[in-house]
Structure 1
Amino acid sequence: MAKMVLLAQYLALNGTDLSDYTRKGELTVEVEDKDVTTYGSLGWKAVLGGLKSGELACEFLQDVAATKIDSIMWPLLGTVVTFEVRADSGAVSTSNPKYTGSVLIKGWNPIEGGVGDEASVGVSFPTSGAVTRATA
C-alpha cells in the first residue's frame, strides 16, 4: 500500500489559488442514512443512502495586507463560489485526482488567536451541489 505525506496541497476558491496561505485543507463528503427497517428485516436494521453533503474545512495563515487572503475572502462572505482541492499541486492525474464543486462562504474570522500565536484563520464551508472527482 502506498503512503503519502502532504507537502504541496493545492486549494483554490473562486478560481484563486490560495495554496500559499493554506495550512490545512480537508474535504469531507457523506450520505445520510435513512432507516428503512421493517418487520421483514428480522431484527436487523436496514438503511438506504439519502441526501449527500460535504464540507471544506480550511486553516489559513492570515494576511490583512492589500490583495492578500483577508482582502480575497472578505468580499466572498455570503456567496457560493467554486472550489478545487488536490493532494498535490502537480498536474491532475490518476495518482493526483482533483475534487471540485461549490461551497457557501458562510463565515470568515479576520482576527483569531492569542498572545504569541501565529495569525491564522480556521473556517469550514458547506458544499452546495455536487462534489466531483476527476483524474484528467
Structure 2
Amino acid sequence: MNARKRLEDSPIPTRIKLSLLWASLMSLYIYNDYFVLFVPGTIDGMAAGSMGPLGNYTDTKMIGVALILAIPASMVFLSSIVAPRTSRILNLTLGIVYAIIALLTLIGSPIFYKMVVCFQLVALALIIKLALRWT
C-alpha cells in the first residue's frame, strides 16, 4: 500500500504573520534603496549632500529618515512581543502611515522603484487587513 504522507500544516499565529510581513517590508525597503544607487547621478548627488526630494542634507532630516526606517524594523520584533491589543493598534496605525509614505515615494520615481513600492503596498495592505481581523 502506497500511503501518502500529509505534511503538518499548523496555523500561524497572527502576531507571527504580522512580524513576517514587517520583515518582508524591510527587505523591500533595503533592496529598493540599494537598486536606486544604480540610477546615474544618484551617488554623485549623495556625495554632494543631496537627499533627493528632501533637499540638502541636515541632521534633522537624517534623524527623520532614520526614524522612518527604524520604526518598521522595530515592528518586526514588537509585533511578536507586545500585548495583542497594543500590537493591533500599532499595526493598524503604522500600516496606514507607511502606506501613505509609500504612496508619496511613487512621485517622480523610476519605474523599477514604483514596482517594488507596489509590493510594499501589498505587504502593508495585508498588515492592515490582519490587524483589522485580529480577534
Which one scores higher on RCO, CA 8 angstroms, separation ≥ 6? 2
Same fold (TM over 0.5): no
> Normalised by the size of structure 2, how large is the TM-score?
0.24
Higher strand content, 1 or 2:
1
> Normalised by the size of structure 1, how large is the TM-score?
0.24
Higher helix content, 1 or 2:
2
